[in-house]
A and B are shown apart, each in its own frame.
Chain A
Amino acid sequence: MDTKDILTIMLRSGSGKAGVALLLGIVIISVTVVFLFPMDFGSKRWNNPAAWADNPKSVPPFWVGLFMGNNSIAHKVFEVSPQETQANLVQNYSFHYEYNSGKSPTFTTLSFTDVTFHNRPPLLELNVVRPDGREIVLYQQVLRGARPGESSPYKRFEETPLRVFLTSETETLISLVSFLEAEFDVKTNPEALSGLVEQVVFGQPSHQGNLEFVPLNGQYDFQILSYMNHPSDSVGSLKLVLGGNSFGFMGTDSAGRDLALGLLFGFPIALIIGLTTSVFATVIGSTLGIISGFKGNKTDIIIQRFSDIWSNVPLLPILIFLIFILGQKLWIVVIIMILFGWPGLTIVVRSMVLQIRTGQLVESTKALGASNSRIMFRHILFQIAPFVLAQMIFFTPAAILAEAGLSFLGLGDPSIPTWGQILESGFRTGAVYLGYWWWIMPPGVLIVITAMAFVLIALALEPAINPKLRVEK
Chain B
Amino acid sequence: MNILETFNLSVEFKARQGLLGSVRVQALENVSIALSRGESLAIVGESGSGKTTLARACLLLIKSSSGSILFDGAELSGASEKNLIDFRRKTQAIFQDPYSSLDSYMTIGQIVEEPLIIHQIKDATTRRLSAENALEEVRLSPSNDFYPKFPHMLSGGQRQRVAIARALVLGPDLIIADEPVSMVDASSRTEILYLMRELQEKHNTAFIYITHDIATAYHFSDRIAVMYAGHIVETGPTKKVISNPLHPYTRALVEAVPQPDPSNRFRKRATIHGEPPSAVNPPSGCRFHPRCPNAFEGCDSNNPSLIEIRNNHEVACHLWKKFDGESHLPKTIAGSK
Contacts and interface: CB of A to CB of B under 8 A. Distances in A.
Interface of A: 359-361, 363-371, 374, 379, 382-383, 385, 467-468, 472
A26 B61 CA distance: 51
A382 B105 CA distance: 7
Given A360-B97, A467-B150, A366 B61 contact: yes
B105 A467 contact: yes
Nearest to A386: B105
Nearest to B116: A368
A382 B103 contact: yes
B102 interface: yes
A367 B59 CA distance: 7
A383 B105 contact: yes
Given A468-B152, A472-B153, A367 B92 contact: yes
Contacts of A371: 118
B105 A370 contact: no
B95 A467 contact: no
Interface stretch (B81-89, B122-130, B203-211): B81-89
A279 to B, nearest CB: 21
Nearest to A1: B107
B96 interface: yes
B222 interface: no
A367 B93 CA distance: 7
A470 to B, nearest CB: 9
Interface of B: 56, 59, 61, 84-85, 88-89, 91-93, 95-97, 100-106, 114-115, 118-119, 150, 152-153, 163, 166
B88 A364 contact: no
B310 to A, nearest CB: 36
Nearest to B97: A360
Contact of A360 (B101, B106, B118, B166): B101
Contact of B61 (A363, A382, A467): A363
Nearest to A385: B105
Contact of A361 (B56, B102, B119): B102
A374 B115 CA distance: 12
B224 to A, nearest CB: 23
A370 B92 contact: no
A467 B92 contact: no
A364 B115 CA distance: 11
Nearest to A383: B105
B152 A363 contact: no
B89 to A, nearest CB: 6
A368 B88 contact: yes
Contacts of B163: 364
Contacts of A383: 103-105
Nearest to A369: B88
| In the complex, the 10 A-B pairs of residues with the closest C-beta atoms, listed nearest first | A369-B88, A382-B105, A367-B93, A360-B101, A364-B101, A360-B100, A360-B95, A467-B150, A368-B115, A370-B118
